[in-house]
Amino acid sequence: MDRYRVKPDSKVDLAKWDPQETSAFDGDKKNGKERVAELCRKLDELQELLYAEGKHKILLIFQALDAGGKDGTIRSIFEGVNPQGVKVASFKAPTPEELSHDFLWRIHKQTPGRGEIVIFNRSHYEDVLVVRVHDLVPEDVWSKRYAHINHFEKLLADEGTTILKFYLHIDKDEQKERFQERLDNPAKQWKFNIGDLAERKLWDKYMAAYEDVLSKTSTEWAPWYIVPANRNWYRNLVISEVIVKTLENLHMAYPEPQEGLDKIVIE
């Protein structure tokens, strides 16, 4: 899956990334879903091991445009894990208290402790995306935040946090279809927000903002992956492959049992 990893200091042009492609898997949708199910079982085992060992900290960051599939991805990949060791943090519009602090204040306290996986559904990157597109702060403020973010993530990495960042890449036609599905399906109408249509008109501005994020903040210690996300099964496949491989590379082990357990007799 390294083909989807953004190299540090590389210039990203999202027009060159096909959100429809499935070239990293030699199989069809049915086989792909079977592979995802297999990976999810493996993830369940690895997460249990991570929790038991209590040494590593995992931060997973998901960013996407509206209807990009963040909720569906998290639900599909993590439905089998132990909820004691996994948390999801969602970052919406900041509160007055949060706005009175620096933009990373509300983020830092949500980061994982040892043995935990924390999933960010949106993140500190909103402060160089939404804030930029809507001119909520001056450019000379948000333009400095790329460096602040890189230093913040380096701090987390130096303190033992493994960071993976996923941008779920869909095209404008796919977003339209997903919005229409929400309108047409009574069970999904609650997800439809009229304000999303106003955001859709800013598509080009968001693309430019995301290109800068991916170009300026993909590092060796906190890499971005551009995930083709028009096809849900393939999106889930790519992300679960990356996460499972990363956890396997930590070479975790269960703690040694207490001495003398072989002599215990339970009556």
pLDDT tens digits, one per residue of 142-161: 999 999 999 999 999 999 99
Q: What 8-state DSSP symbol labels residue 63? A: E
Helices (H), 54-168: 70-78, 96-99, 105-108, 130-133, 139-142, 145-158
Instruction: Note the pLDDT tens digit of each residue in 81-137.
Output: 988 899 999 999 999 999 999 999 999 999 999 999 999 999 999 999 999 999 999
Give the pLDDT score at 83.
86
Rounded Cα distance, 138 and 33, in Å? 45
The CA–CA distances, whole Å, from 119 to 40, 57, 166, 189 equal 16, 11, 11, 25
Predicted structure pTM score:
0.95
Q: What 8-state DSSP symbol labels residue 5? A: B
Task: Answer yes or no: is pLDDT of 80 > 90.
Answer: no
**245 near 80, Cβ under 8 Å?**
no
Domains of the chain and any CATH numbers: 2-250 (3.40.50.300)
Give the pLDDT score at 31.
96
Q: How far is CA 50 from its chain centroid?
A: 19
Q: In terms of pLDDT, which residue wins out, 80 or 168? A: 168
